[in-house]
Chain A
Amino acid sequence: MSGKIRLINENGLRVDGRRPNELRPIKMEVGVLSNADGSAYIEQGKNKILAAVYGPREVHPRHLALPDRSLLRCRYHMAPFSVEERKSPAPSRREIELSKVIKEALEPAIFLEKFPRTSIDIFIEVLQADGGTRCAGTTVAALALADAGIPMRDLVVACAAGKVDGVLVLDLNDIEDKEGEADVPVAYMPNLGLISLLQMDGSLTIEEFNQSLNLAMEGCKQIYKFQKEALRSRYVTIKEEVEECLR
C-alpha cells in the first residue's frame, strides 16, 4: 500500500506542505439556506460540504413517531461530481453507514426528549470530497442544528488523526487516507469531554491508537473555535440587520 508515494518528505512535511499536527485551512458559514430551519457550510481543505436541518417537525411516515422523544434522522450524501470518478447518486453502502454513525455522533448532544412525536432531519451534502468528509460533515451538521435553534448539551466537532509513513498526523486528506497506514475519525463534545463518534481502520498498536485519539481531540478543540466564531458572526449579522430595520 504505502511506499509507492512518499507521504512525508525529508523535512517532515506532508504532501500538501502541512506539519504532522497541522489542520487544513477551514472556513465555516452559518445560515446559508433560506428554506431550511438551520443550515451551515464548511470548507476544510478541498472539502466543500453543506448541511441543512429541518425540524422539529411532523414525522413522515407517521408510524415512525416516538412517544417520548424526537426521531433523529440523518442523510449523508455525496454529489456525483464530488469525486474524481463520477459517483452514482444512489446512496452507497458507505454513505448509509456514515449516515448512521454521524446520526449517532450528534444524538447525545441533542435534547430529543423535549420534542416527542416529531422528527429532526439532518441532510449533509458533500459537494466536493477530499478525505475526512464524515468529520467535516459532523462538524457542519452540528452548526446547522444550532442554527435551527435546537437545544443542545454541547456542540459536536469532529476531526481525524491517523498514521502515514510511520508518522502520526492530524486531519488526513484524501491521499493520506487512502495510502496511509491508519485513519481514526473522532467526534468530540468539547465541554462534556465525551466522544460520540469513533472509528478506525488500518493497523495501530494500542499506544499509537491512544496518541491518535489524543491528537484527534486536540484537532477537535481547534476546530471548535472556528465553529463558535461562525455561530457568533451569524448572530452579529442578524443583530445588525434588525438594528438597521429599526433605524
Chain B
Amino acid sequence: MSSIMVSRIRQKQIAQMVASGKRLDGRGLKDYRPIKVETGIIEKAEGSSRALLGKTEVVVGVKVEIGDPFLDRPDEGVFTVNSEFVPLASPEFEAGPPSEESIELARVVDRGIRESKAIDLEKLCLIPGKKVYVIFIDIYVLNHDGNLIDASSLASLAALLNTKIPVYVVEDNEVKKTNDYIPLPIKNLPVSITLANISDKLIVDPWLEEEEAMSARLTITFDKDNKISAIQKGGPGALTPQQIMEAAHMAREKAEELRKMLVKT
C-alpha cells in the first residue's frame, strides 16, 4: 500500500525513533495498541463481532446457509472468508472489485482458520455428498489505521465463537430447518500476530504510518498448541533468517497473550 499520505520526513522520523527503541505513539516495540472486542453486535447475522485495535475498526459477520460440499471433501462443511475494504474506511479505499490487499487479507485470515482446523467441519455435514453447512465469514473494514490482518483475524475468531447455527433434521433425504440453534463447533483458536521491520528492528502491531515506513511485514498465526498454522510476508522489503526466527518467538508470546484476552471476553 504505497501512498503519498505519510510524508518522507515523517517516515524518516518514525524510522529514527524505532532505531532508538521508541515509537511515535509512545508504545514500546512489543506493545499492541488497546484492543477491544465485542460480540453479537448484528442480530440478523448468526455470529458477529467488532474488533478495535487502536483506531483500526473491523466488523465481522458470519452467515450460515445450506449448500453443496466440495467434491473432494463430501462429508465436510464449507467455509469462505471474504473481505471488503469499504470506501468509508479510508481515503485510499475505492468502491469496485477487491484490491490485491483485500484479497490477501481474506486469504491470510482464511489460512489461519483452515490450517488450524478451527471450525470442526466434519460436524457440519447433514447428508454426505449432498447437503452441508456453508459458513460465510465476511470481514468489513470500517476504519483503516494499520494492521488490518490482526484486527480481522481477531474479529473473525470472536465472531465464530459467537456463532449459533440452526439445527436441521434430515427427513427422506431432505433437510428441514428447526427452531433450535447450537453453537458452531470450534476446536482451535488461531491468533495472528503481525510484526513490521523498520530500521532493521521488529515492532509489533504497526499502525498506518508505521506501515508506510516499514520495509517488510511478517504475519505469523499460532494455534492453541503454540504451533504455527500460517505465515505471510508482505511489503516491498526483505528479512534475514535471524529476524524471521526472532519474529516467530516474539509472535508466539504475543499470540498467547491475545488468546487469553479473547477467551476472557
Contact = CB atoms under 8 A, between A and B. Distances in A.
Interface of A: 66, 93-94, 96-97, 99-101, 104, 107-108, 184, 189, 192-206, 209-210, 213-214, 217
Interface in B226-264: 226-241, 244-245, 248-249, 252
Given A93-B103, A201-B115, A206-B252, A193 B231 contact: no
Contacts of A97: 100, 103-104, 107
B240 A195 contact: yes
Contacts of A198: 218, 231-233, 239, 244
A104 B236 contact: yes
B116 interface: yes
Contacts of B244: 195, 198, 213
19 contacts: A93-B106, A97-B104, A100-B103, A100-B234, A101-B104, A101-B234, A107-B237, A108-B215, A108-B237, A184-B231, A196-B239, A198-B218, A198-B244, A199-B232, A199-B233, A200-B230, A201-B114, A202-B115, A209-B248
Contact of B228 (A101, A108, A209): A209
Nearest to B227: A203
A235 B228 CA distance: 44
A100 B228 contact: no
Given A97-B100, A209-B228, A213-B244, 13 more contacts: A66-B2, A93-B107, A100-B101, A100-B104, A104-B216, A108-B236, A199-B232, A200-B230, A200-B231, A201-B115, A204-B227, A205-B226, A206-B245
B228 A206 contact: yes
Interface of B: prevailing SS: mixed
**Residue from A93, A104, A201, A217 having most chain B Cβ neighbours under 10 A:** A201
Interface residues on B, range: 35 or more
Contacts of B104: 97, 100-101
Contacts, number: 99
Interface in B46-88: none
B201 interface: no
A184 B233 CA distance: 11
B231 A199 contact: yes
Contact of A203 (B216, B223, B239, B245): B223
B111 interface: yes
A96 B103 contact: yes
Interface in B176-211: none
Contacts of A189: 238
Contacts of B236: 104, 107-108
Contacts of A217: 241
A194 B239 contact: yes
**Residue from B233, B234, B245 having most chain A Cβ neighbours under 10 A:** B233
Contacts of A209: 228, 231, 248
A195 B100 contact: no
A217 B238 CA distance: 14
Interface string B91-122: 00000000011011011000100111000000
Closest 7 CB pairs of A and B: A194-B238, A200-B231, A198-B233, A196-B238, A108-B238, A107-B236, A100-B100
A25 B114 CA distance: 32
A213 B248 CA distance: 12
A25 B52 CA distance: 50
Nearest to B247: A198
B241 A214 contact: yes
A107 B232 CA distance: 16
Interface in B110-157: 111, 114-116
Nearest to B217: A104
A194 B249 CA distance: 19
B69 to A, nearest CB: 16
Given A93-B107, A97-B107, A198-B218, A205 B100 contact: no
Given A195-B241, A198-B239, A201-B115, A206 B231 contact: no
A214 to B, nearest CB: 7
Contacts of B115: 201-203
Contacts of B227: 203-205
Contacts of A193: 240-241
A195 B107 contact: no
B239 A195 contact: yes
A22 B233 CA distance: 26
B191 to A, nearest CB: 14
Nearest to A195: B239
Given A206-B228, A217-B241, A195 B233 contact: yes
Nearest to A71: B2
B245 A210 contact: yes
